[in-house]
Structure 1
Amino acid sequence: MTSEEDLRRLANGVLWPGFLGRSAPAWLLDELRAGLAGVVYFAQNVGDELEQLSSDLRAANPAILIGIDEEGGSVTRLETTNGSTVLGAAQLGYLDDLDATRATGAEIARRLRAVGVNAQLGPDVDVNTDPRNPVIGVRAFGDDVELVSRHGVAQVEGIQASGAVAACVKHFPGHGDTHLDSHHDLPTLRLTEDQLAEHRAPFIAAIAAGVDMIMTAHIVIEQFGPLPATLNAEILGGLRTDGFDGVIVTDALDMAAIRETYGLGAGAVMALQAGADLLCIGNPTNPGDAMAPDQDERDFFAVQSAVIAALRDGTLSRETVQAAADRVARLGRRLASAAPGGDATVFEAQDLADRAVTVRAGEDLSPAPSAVVLDARKRASFAVDSAASYVSSVLAAGGTVLRVDPDRATDAERTAAVAAALAAGAARIIVLVDRVAVDPSQRDVVSAVASTGADAVVVNTGIPVGDDAVHWPIPLVQVRASSRLAALAARRILVRD
């Protein structure tokens, strides 16, 4: 007969929680000593003592997997305060320089090793075929399957070159053709066989390149039934058929696509039944104002209890969970035993970011002596801090920054924001946008500024607008990321230092 402690250790071997704070809570250390696979760091965990935190966690479980979302560009955890100084996927895809992409992956891995992290939750190898996509966008290398495949492989190679950091490509079988955010909804797609093959192709290329981990998508593919990929045995089984023998990790189970449909605990059990190996429980700060002081413990123990109960009553096969835990443990032991590896090749990231900037229709711009920034980007999402203040402050170069919410602002409020930008007295107005290609409300802000006749420029951090897509009344600068590098690149063109 299996003891309760045995069941706890077995369940812990497939769990990957987030937690609150910049030091290791007692409950987390207890679970690590009881076989917990590892943790995922989020922005609230990152501080000056991150290396010490990693060391404390590793002392409790030497084979720990410590993961982080450090994609570069618009997605960073290590540089949340000041903005990423690593190029993002869309910038790299535009440059189409595989050496640059490989070197960027190596630099990300070097930074992770320096703070004790050994699992990079990237690269994103979604093929972003829907420009309305609210959650992928510039996190993807592009909308061309061959381009995404070759750059995904190059970044995996860079990340895993030292042998001390695992790469995790995401979001299988492809989140690029959605117009809903699975953090808030459960997207449903109807794809032809050819379309599905195209979205799967970058994952198959990454498997051939030896990627260690693959993350699932919380999306429904109609021909595979009503279950989202994370909970769908036919979809996840396809990874094994494709030759993947590494760790299948779920996207965060606390996202609404799972939590609000199947429930956190039930979703965890279903994911294991479907063939997932490691359950990413999620970021305990995601509930926002509704977050409980012990949200991390609540979420973790809800999942752990559900998995233990399913093991106890036979809903979950112990052999299935043991096989998953063994895959996770093998990866953890291998990474723990790897030599540290040499430093990444020195690479001039700012020069690359400068080269990834385009001015639509080749308009000639010269720097103005001062600027006011009118930030009309969307509100921040869970995955991408698209309203990060550092982008607007870097662009303003010490000038005024104003904010208008394009979704919620009334005509009067929009008019008042434009008037305030004019009243700031700067030589140039910079309108900062991130979805202007598909969002009429952002274009309304642009039109309102243009109608004043002021010296004004649009800076687009999102999916670029094609030269023939829309008539633009003022110049459009496209930087392909919400990051410090991208903002500095735009500032060099627009504002005199």
Structure 2
Amino acid sequence: MTPDRSAAHADDLSRLANGVLWPGFFGAELPDWLAAELRGGLAGVVYFAQNLSPHLDRLSAAIHDANPRALIGIDEEGGSVTRLEGLTGSTVPGAAQLGALDDSAATRATGAELARRVREAGGDVLIGPVADVNTDPRNPVIGVRAFGAQTGLVSRHAAAEIEGIQGSGVAACVKHFPGHGDTAVDSHHGLPRIAGDPADFDRVHVEPFRAAIAAGALSVMTAHIVVPAWGEAPATLNPRVLGMLRAEGFDGVIVTDALDMAAIRESVGIGGGAVGALAAGADLLCIGNPTNPGDAAAVDQDQRDFHAAKDAIVEALADGTLSVQRVAEAGARAARLADLLAAERAGVDAVPPADMRDIVRRSLTVRGDLGAATGGLAVLDARRRATLAVDSAAPYVVDALAAGSWSRRVDVERAGAAEIAGAVDEARSAASASGSRIAVLVDRIDTDEAQRRFVAAVADAAPGAVVVNVGLPGADVALPVVDVRASSRIAAELAREMLVRA
């Protein structure tokens, strides 16, 4: 091969690889390296919290200028998971709230409002809804992100939200196929294995994805889980599992969950995951959030992770490990999606914002007698520490619930009896001084014995207290409970309205 042909061949392989990659990146402006890759055919980007600013629309415009076919993905589920309102908390219902309400029209309207916000920010793909059936109450990564624990309920609402999302030139990306609801391991930190009868798993967990396909979902995100009956490879890297999607008639874009998650990074690595996912039948490879390593993240972590995936794909194409035809097919699916969305947007006018407060208000439920409203709330925050998927300890929930009054965070898993007693005494003093009552903020009262013990300690010392539960309803406790089912600003505000005199 002559040098000129060799260079042309390398450029072709680079463009092929770029056409299936979906990286995250640092900063609220378009970096030079990313602009160059976009001009070289990069399929698009995924926004995370570090990319947001009041000028997000300008960043989106710069990305689309560099590559008009670029797909911008935003993980905007509503409820406990938001990117666009990451600093202040979501003002849109979450899946568990919608499932509790069980009003398909409300779910459809929520999908439309989420899509409006994504489109206004310049996004193309809304990474949602969650179609997982949350059958394991211990699930550390799904929980309130699911519509519920019943297959029919989840199927109905996943389909309704997809219909709402896809009415205005935004694609839904339903997740996490074939179902992440029956796990007790967070795939951000390990590789979940799901044993049991595969026929039962198919009936319970795969069925909502069939409903999503029937509703016209344009993309589906994979799960990093192992179903041993279908092979030892994680679903993201398993041709049998991804082939199930095609067998159901799905011809849209198969998107991987983030390749930087421990289930992939610490087993086959980002590069191995990229090559394996493409070989298995995936079309668009979400690389992940470069901030996830925390203090261990390199200043160029975004570029390192991107090149770990891209270089591995180019090498596999060059040595024949990956077929050019397979990668070209994958890239063509992503490009077709971009063209479809551009055509749809040309015929759809912008829609006005919708007020989501009534939907959230109707989803709140009460267990026990709340008694008379008081002048305020002194908040004891006993929620879990944040995870990579959900910021369980988000401060905006406390801010909205306490509204400037006294609050204190207590790590109930680690705190000793003396620390807990001291915190409760402080809360009693603060509540007494301000004519308020104590509100205990929890998120795992259904499965976390430490949170239940803490509530019992508060009940003994302050029987007039109340529990605000942003997690799933569960065991009865000695205090009245407001179940709000989301760590969101709007849910906390509405819970406060129920408890505090206007």
Q: Which of 48, 51, 74 is the equivalent residue of 1:68?
A: 74
1:80-91 residue pairs with structure 2 within 5 A?
A: 80-91=86-97
1:62-461 residue pairs with structure 2 within 5 A?
A: 62-162=68-168, 164-192=169-197, 193-340=199-346, 341-344=348-351, 347-361=354-368, 363-425=369-431, 426=434, 427-461=436-470
The one-letter code matched in structure 1 to 2:48 is: F
Report the CA distance between 1:347 and its aligned residue.
4.1
Cα distance in 2, alignment partners of residues 185 and 444 from structure 1:
29
Q: 3-state SS of the aligned residue for 1:424?
A: helix
The one-letter code matched in structure 2 to 1:54 is: S
The range that moved more, 344-353 or 447-456, is: 344-353
The one-letter code matched in structure 2 to 1:187 is: P
Aligned residues of 1:429 and 1:454 also touching (Cα < 8 A):
no
**Residue 487 (str. 1) matches residue 492 (str. 2):** yes
Aligned residues of 2:428 and 2:462 also touching (Cα < 8 A):
no
Residues 430-462 of structure 1, C-alpha deviations (whole Å, 9 max, x = no match)? 110101100011112111111103421111101
Q: 3-state SS of the aligned residue for 1:188?
A: coil
The one-letter code matched in structure 2 to 1:22 is: A
What is the TM-score of this pair, normalised by structure 2? 0.96
**Residue 26 (str. 1) matches residue 35 (str. 2):** no
Cα distance in 1, alignment partners of residues 23 and 112 from structure 2:
26
Cα distance in 2, alignment partners of residues 386 and 489 from structure 1:
18
Q: 3-state SS of the aligned residue for 1:21?
A: coil
Report the CA distance between 1:353 and its aligned residue.
1.1
Relative to structure 1, the CA distance from residue 49 to residue 270 in structure 2 (aligned partners, 3 Å threshold; closer, same or farther) is same
The one-letter code matched in structure 2 to 1:350 is: R
Cα distance in 2, alignment partners of residues 344 and 457 from structure 1:
40
Q: 3-state SS of the aligned residue for 1:451?
A: helix
Report the CA distance between 1:224 and its aligned residue.
1.3
Cα distance in 2, alignment partners of residues 250 and 482 from structure 1:
26
Task: Give the total of aligned pairs.
Answer: 491
Q: 3-state SS of the aligned residue for 2:97?
A: helix
The one-letter code matched in structure 1 to 2:467 is: V
Residues 121-167 of structure 1, C-alpha deviations (whole Å, 9 max, x = no match)? 000010111111111111111111111111111110111012x1100
Structure 1 partner of 2:65: 59
Cα distance in 2, alignment partners of residues 296 and 31 from structure 1:
13
Q: 3-state SS of the aligned residue for 1:399?
A: coil
Report the CA distance between 1:372 and its aligned residue.
0.8
CA RMSD across the alignment: 1.3
What is the TM-score of this pair, normalised by structure 1? 0.97
Aligned residues of 1:106 and 1:344 also touching (Cα < 8 A):
no
Give the share of equivalent positions with the same residue, in percent: 59
Report the CA distance between 1:343 and its aligned residue.
4.1
User: What are structure 1's unaligned runs of at least 5 residues?
Assistant: none
Structure 1 partner of 2:501: 496
Residues 300-333 of structure 1, C-alpha deviations (whole Å, 9 max, x = no match)? 0111111111111111111111110110111112
Cα distance in 2, alignment partners of residues 347 and 109 from structure 1:
11
Cα distance in 1, alignment partners of residues 35 and 416 from structure 2:
50
